[in-house]
Structures are given as C-alpha cells and as structure tokens.
Amino acid sequence: MTAVTQAIRQKGHWRVSIRPADYNGERIEYSNLASIIDRSRVSLRGWDLPPHVRSSATLHGDNWIGGESDATSRPQAWRFHQDGQFVLLRAIWTDHIEPMDDAYRLSRQYPPTQAGLVLPVGDTVFTLTEAFEFASRLAMTEAGSDPMVLDFDLRGLEDRILWVDDPNRAGMDNQYRFNEAELSRHRSVPRSVLVGEAWNLAVDGALDIYARFGWNPPRQLVEGQQAILRRS
C-alpha cells in the first residue's frame, strides 16, 4: 500500500470498480493498457478521470498499470488490469482540508459539523457522472463487454450529513444524515444503455445516494447541478 492509498483509505472515500461482465484474465495485451486509458480518459471539471500521470510516474504490476495523484484535498489512486477491470480510489475531499480553508468558503454555508463529517452533494453527482462517462468509453474498447459491471462503494460515511458545495445554491434546510459506515451499489448495465444514457444513470445514482440520507430532491435540481459539467 502506498502513502497515497493509505491516506485515502484512512478517511472517507469512494471505491469505484468498472469491469466487463465476463472474466478473461488476458483480455487485454499488457502493452495496450496505457493506450486504452488514454482513449477513455474523461476531463469534465479541470482534472481527469483517471488522473493523468507522466509515463515515467505510471505504476506497473504483473498484470496491471496504475497511477496516483496526491493533490492536497483530492488524493486519488487507480489501477487498470489486463482482465479489463478498472478500480479507482478517490477521497471525499472535505476530509482533507480544514473547515476554514478557502475551499469551504466556496459554499454559502459552512458545514454545520466538524470537517470530515459531510458528503458534498455536488461532488457526489460529479463523481458519478465522471465514472459512468468513463465506463461508457471503456465499454467501447478491448476492455468492454455487454453488459458492463459497475460497483460503487462509499466508505467512512457513519454520521455524515449532506452538504451543499455550490456557492450558487442555498444550504440544506435540514441535517440529512446517514448512520452506517458504508453504502454500496452494484450495477450491471447493457453496453448500449451505458453508452447512450451515462449521464442519466449518474443522476439516478446520485438520487439513490441522497435518498439514503433522507433527502429526496426533484430530479431537475440534480440535473441542473450536473449541467455545470457541460459548461466547464
């Protein structure tokens, strides 16, 4: 375990797994792994999924390649395997800054609890959108299958509340809280649906997560938040 992955796992984080439904340990030639990642990479809000790394900084294993980003508030790590599985670890960014840092000032409302106990609602739909969009692109490469399998695990959630991380939106009118440590979702999606409906699937996923905190906003509100990505 590297220092970056250890820092991510010690606090709240996402674990996203995207893979073909059928297993083939040698689905992809090792020499083609990097080019598939480059063709599938998503850049929607100023940084990439997966995080771009210099060729010299790429991590290499027996049947995988990977990369890490140790940005102060957004550490991430990923691996892409020859069987077609892509795994991303991404920190919940509010866990890695102090409550009074500039990043919190981008909201109209300071988090009502100590740092590390919030789940940013905008970042949630953005992360899901990036993941589904990346999966749709990956599905059309040698790593693809019909269907594709996506697993989303949110870890370190116990007693977190939802927090509005958009300065153009009002804060929550209540403390919407989740009372378990983890929230996991498994999706098996036909390739045609994934390619054609990736952004809608992300909204579905965000609404499902919000509901587990007790918040059920109109779909149009979440779509409006997601639309920021189309303008970035």
Q: Which residue has the tokens 């990036």?
A: 130
Domain that residue 110 falls in = 3-231
DSSP 8-state class, residue 25: T
Report residue 45: phi and psi, to 5°: -145, 40
80 vs 18, 167, 175, 178, 210, CA distance in Å? 10, 35, 38, 31, 29
**Tens digit of pLDDT at every position of the chain (232 positions):** 688 999 999 999 999 999 999 999 999 999 999 999 999 999 987 778 887 777 668 999 999 999 998 876 789 999 999 999 999 999 998 888 765 555 455 554 555 545 448 899 999 999 999 999 999 999 999 999 999 999 999 999 999 999 988 877 878 888 899 999 999 999 999 999 999 999 999 999 999 999 999 999 999 999 999 998 887 5
Domain count, the chain: 1
Distances 45 to 13, 77, 172, 228, 232 between C-alpha atoms, Å: 19, 18, 24, 9, 6
**This prediction's pTM:** 0.92
